[in-house]
Structure 1
Amino acid sequence: MSTRKELTGPQKWMLACAAAPMAAVGIAGGFGTYSNVIAEFGRAATAIGVVAAGEGLTLVLALTMLALTLLGQATPRVVRAGLWLAPAAAALVGVAVADGLTEQIVYAATPLAMCGAAEGLGLIARRIVIYTTGVDAEARRRTATAVQRLAYQRAVADRHPDEGRREDALRKSWRLAEQIGVDDPELAAGLIEDQRKRLRQGADEALAGMLTAAPEPARPEPVPVRTETAEEILARKLAAMSQDDAVRLAADAHPDAHPAELAAILGHYGITVDAVQVALILARQPEQHDVYRPDTADAPKVSGLHPVTVEAAVVEAASALGPDAKAREIAEHLARHRRLVVTEPYIRTALSREAKRQQGTAPATPMEGGYA
């Protein structure tokens, strides 16, 4: 609901200053028409009648519109049409009584002063009412008329049996939708207030998001891990086995149990079997298969090392390594191949003896102490 406002002193003074010239212009227009008719007819009564029929009627309609506006009511269309038709009739009278073209133009324009003054005063009165009460009767009248026509056209567009009428009503309803709310200060104020609320709410949310500390992320509660019991594991494995394997497994676990006891044990783990089936399964011999396995091949015989002396082993290693082999290399060779630990001086001595032995067994050459 709108709040009533009061006009301030300066506002009243300015409105009065604006209305005074309008009233003066209207009076001047009426006096001009009176003077024009006097000049043509020379009779005051005729001039007063013409002014009363033109400017006088315009004045009556203007005062009616002013009173209705001050009461917060819409002006009827007849009154608004009369504000223009009455000066137009007076203008036609002026054209009819004028002698020349110049006089026709002057006589036709003179009554329009009263029409302009009436419209101006009505507009000021309407704005004063809108300002003080917040209610625009003319806008409400136009909106109500447009809404009523829109409702009718929508009903015709939805339910009229003639398809052509429905299409025409649909187009008219769209044109009428453009007229709803035009020049309606209450609607404009309401929309602006709604937008202000949205802007205020959006700004509040934005500032709250910027200035409020971020909440700590919720830590997920640890989900307890359920471990299977031994009984559940056994039941799951038995369910995956065949019936024969499950019976034999139970019999191996309980070798002294009777078939009825084994059937009860298996039933506890979800294996449905009776004592007769258990007895038949246990009495049945498992399938036997012959497996051919070839004999293992004989291991090759390894001949042992020929027994030699340490000195002979040194000579053998030296011959294997070559004439340039050193005593250290020969000792390493003996340790690796003969598993003998021999010192280097002994190796040199053994090699020296072998060299002398070779020299003593060499054949004698002619003319060198031998016989030819």
Structure 2
Amino acid sequence: MRTLTKGQIAVLAIAAALMAGVGGFGAWGTYTNAVEAFHREATAAGVVAAGEGLTLILGLVMLLRTMLGQSSPAVVRLGMWLAPVSAACVGITIAGTAREAAVYAVTPLAMSGAAEGLSFVARSVVVFTTGVDAETMRRNADVARQLAFHRAVAEGHPGKAQRKLARRRYWRLARYVGHGDAELGAGLVDVQRHRVRDGADAALASMYGAPVVERSQKDPATPRPVSATEALRAHFAGMDLDDAIRLAHDARPDAAPAELAHLLGTYDIHVDAVAVALVLGRKPAEYEVERDDADDAQQVNALPRGAKTAAIREAASSLGKDARAEDIVRAVAERHQIEVGENYVRAVLSRKPKAKRDPGNGGYA
């Protein structure tokens, strides 16, 4: 995108100020003439607003759409012509003499011309900075559309007269194709420059007896630059899936399987996190949480064999023969921190204690 120099900006600002000044004087002149004719200021203001004001509004619409890179609608372009004409007609009708009619008809053109001039300057600035002429593109697109339509009618319409008329029309439209397109004009000039150079080369070669070197009309095709992503995508396409996963893991060793799967997806290798984990042989991560404000948990070891029975019998012996099962359960829990049920207590107490073996008597009591 090209930028305007300080000198260009200064010249454009001065030109815009002069246009606005001329338009203001024209509106003031029309207002004065209307006041002289109608003797009412409100009516005079309405006359100025309907003529020069409408032209100014349409000019601003063209200005804004041009700055946005858009073409102006047909009604706006038509209004830019009709509004000054209507203002001139109003000036002619309110004039008393032929001399006044000529003056009153010309006065509104000052503001109308200023509005059109400002919109044209804005369009020129946009075309210069962006290189895009929306109006020219719209005009050429419309011509191309009409050309295609009349060409189709000339070739396929059943009526002979319609085909002949359409053939004349598309030949007439052909001269408007590319009209005002600076890029197309530059391209055609470049083509003609090459042809003139080749012709001069051939003429000089024939004069001096040197062999003529034929030049290709088309430039050799230059390879399109390939991005790094496209190159890696093509490289991964020819690799085995396991090798691609391991290569991605080597590049990102700290990445989780899900992240590696997403990374491979950007290169058209669609795989889930489970497959990545299986290929890499990983196990699920284990975490150990330590809190400074938490008390140490009591370590619970397995009870030795017969500990519950011994605790129940010891509690029953201390409580006496009349002790109930629920009292024994409570005593075992308080003294030995062992939880037992009442039915288990009754079952233990119903069994006789085993006799201890005497080692000196062959193992029998």
- TM bucket, shorter chain: 0.5 to 0.7
Secondary structure of 1:182's aligned partner = coil
Aligned pair in 2 of structure 1 residues 60, 166: CA closer, same or farther (>3 Å)?
same
Does 2:85 align with 1:88? yes
- Assess if the C-alpha contact under 8 Å between 1:35 and 1:47 holds in 2: yes
**Matches of 1:157 and 1:60 in 2, distance apart?**
43
Residue 170 of structure 1, aligned match among 167, 170, 175: 167
Aligned pair in 2 of structure 1 residues 206, 129: CA closer, same or farther (>3 Å)?
farther
**Matches of 1:100 and 1:166 in 2, distance apart?**
55
How many correspondences in the alignment?
211
Aligned pair in 2 of structure 1 residues 161, 43: CA closer, same or farther (>3 Å)?
same
- How do 1:79-228 and structure 2 match up within 5 A? 79-196=76-193
CA offsets 1:50-73 (integer angstroms, 9 cap, x no match) = 111111111100111111111222
CA offsets 1:212-256 (integer angstroms, 9 cap, x no match) = 999xxxxxxxxxxxxxxxxxxxxxxxxxxxxxxxxxxxxxxxxxx
- Assess if the C-alpha contact under 8 Å between 1:135 and 1:186 holds in 2: no
**Matches of 2:187 and 2:68 in 1, distance apart?**
23
- Assess if the C-alpha contact under 8 Å between 1:136 and 1:185 holds in 2: no
**Matches of 2:198 and 2:55 in 1, distance apart?**
53
- How do 1:32-47 and structure 2 match up within 5 A? 32-47=29-44
**Matches of 1:138 and 1:160 in 2, distance apart?**
32
Shift of 1:140: 1.0
Shift of 1:198: 5.6
Gaps of 5+ in 1: 215-372
Residue 10 of structure 1, aligned match among 4, 7, 13: 7
**Matches of 1:19 and 1:71 in 2, distance apart?**
19
**Matches of 1:20 and 1:100 in 2, distance apart?**
34
Aligned pair in 2 of structure 1 residues 213, 34: CA closer, same or farther (>3 Å)?
closer
Per the alignment, residue 52 of structure 1 pairs with: 49
Shift of 1:193: 3.5
Aligned pair in 2 of structure 1 residues 204, 73: CA closer, same or farther (>3 Å)?
farther
**Matches of 1:213 and 1:54 in 2, distance apart?**
71
Shift of 1:194: 3.7
Shift of 1:191: 2.0
- How do 1:59-78 and structure 2 match up within 5 A? 59-78=56-75
Per the alignment, residue 232 of structure 1 pairs with: none
Aligned pair in 2 of structure 1 residues 107, 203: CA closer, same or farther (>3 Å)?
same
CA root-mean-square deviation: 2.6
**Matches of 1:146 and 1:6 in 2, distance apart?**
31
Shift of 1:190: 2.2
- Give the partner amino acid of 2:178: G
**Matches of 2:114 and 2:11 in 1, distance apart?**
17
Aligned pair in 2 of structure 1 residues 31, 213: CA closer, same or farther (>3 Å)?
closer
Task: Using structure 2 for the length normalisation, give the TM-score.
Answer: 0.53
**Matches of 2:53 and 2:89 in 1, distance apart?**
15
**Matches of 1:109 and 1:22 in 2, distance apart?**
16
Shift of 1:192: 2.7
Aligned pair in 2 of structure 1 residues 213, 178: CA closer, same or farther (>3 Å)?
closer
Shift of 1:196: 4.6
Shift of 1:32: 0.7
CA offsets 1:253-290 (integer angstroms, 9 cap, x no match) = xxxxxxxxxxxxxxxxxxxxxxxxxxxxxxxxxxxxxx
**Matches of 1:207 and 1:7 in 2, distance apart?**
44
- Give the partner amino acid of 2:167: L
- Give the partner amino acid of 2:55: T
- Assess if the C-alpha contact under 8 Å between 2:66 and 2:126 holds in 1: yes
- Assess if the C-alpha contact under 8 Å between 2:205 and 2:211 holds in 1: no
**Matches of 2:211 and 2:167 in 1, distance apart?**
55
Aligned pair in 2 of structure 1 residues 206, 95: CA closer, same or farther (>3 Å)?
closer
Per the alignment, residue 360 of structure 1 pairs with: none
- Assess if the C-alpha contact under 8 Å between 1:153 and 1:173 holds in 2: yes
- Give the partner amino acid of 1:193: D
Per the alignment, residue 358 of structure 1 pairs with: none
Shift of 1:104: 1.1
- Assess if the C-alpha contact under 8 Å between 1:30 and 1:55 holds in 2: yes
CA offsets 1:105-145 (integer angstroms, 9 cap, x no match) = 11111111122112211221121111111111111111111
Task: Using structure 1 for the length normalisation, give the TM-score.
Answer: 0.52
- Give the partner amino acid of 2:124: R
Does 2:51 align with 1:24? no
